[in-house]
Amino acid sequence: MLKSVLSDGGLKALAYDVGPGRYYQPAYRNIASAIDLEAGAFLDIGCGPGWLSIYVASGKPELDAIGIDINEAMLQRAERHKGTRLNVTYHTMDAAQIIYPEGTFNAVAAVQSAHHWTDTAAVLEEVYRVLKPGCSFYLYEADAEASEVPDGWIQRQGVFPPDAWVLRNWKRYGMDATRWEELKQAVRASSFGGGEAGRHGFYRRLVLTK
């Protein structure tokens, strides 16, 4: 019955929302804290259910957070989550064709988005274009080769989700060392010319500064 009401995209959005979208709440908060933007404009690429934008903008009236995604069902979930917040907005948009002018954003992030990109070079150039000089792009991908779940990054309800479940999802949807190196090569070939590679929680992270 549910499948007859929801599209396939809607079912996937719902499944994410009640699964990873719920138990990754600490991860979204930790990433927002690391970005540490107090004012200006923030862009969340592949925003999904919108939580990162919400946490980045929370309690910061001088900051405008914008989330973009091509999955309209995910954006509908994001709209519900933002509630009455006026400094968070969402738009259907391809990251390879960002509509905003050059130098619009004080920070850009993409969390678990890069593995979906079909034209990585185009996305990197668009992000470079819309960033203000001296500002950074935070690029996160789950480590497909992780062997443990760090404390403080997963919200559990009783014993769910167990570590084995979480690690299996990272293996399925994250990036292994080979794909991560390919992404870094694309960054080096882009206008960014390189970036700071490291880890944050269970993620591989690149911080690229214009």
Token output for 147: 């062997």
Dihedral Cα 117, 173, 105, 90, nearest 10 deg: 90
Domains of the chain in sequence order: 2-209 (3.40.50.150)
Per residue in 149-196, pLDDT (tens digit) is 999 999 998 888 999 999 999 999 999 999 999 999 999 999 999 999
Q: What share of the chain is helix, strand, coil (3-state, %, to 5)?
A: 40, 25, 35
Instruction: Please list, in sequence order, all residues whose beta carbon lies within 8 angstroms of the beta carbon of residue 38, skipping any fewer than 6 positions away.
Output: 60, 62, 63
How is residue 136 written in tokens? 């950074």
- State how far the Cα of 99 lies from the Cα of 41, in Å rounded to an integer: 14
Q: What is the mean pLDDT of residues 60-85?
A: 96
Give this prediction's pTM: 0.92
Which residue from 11, 26, 16, 2 is spatially nearest to 47, judged by alpha carbons?
16
Q: What pLDDT is stored for residue 22 in this prediction?
A: 83
Q: How many residues does the chain have?
A: 210
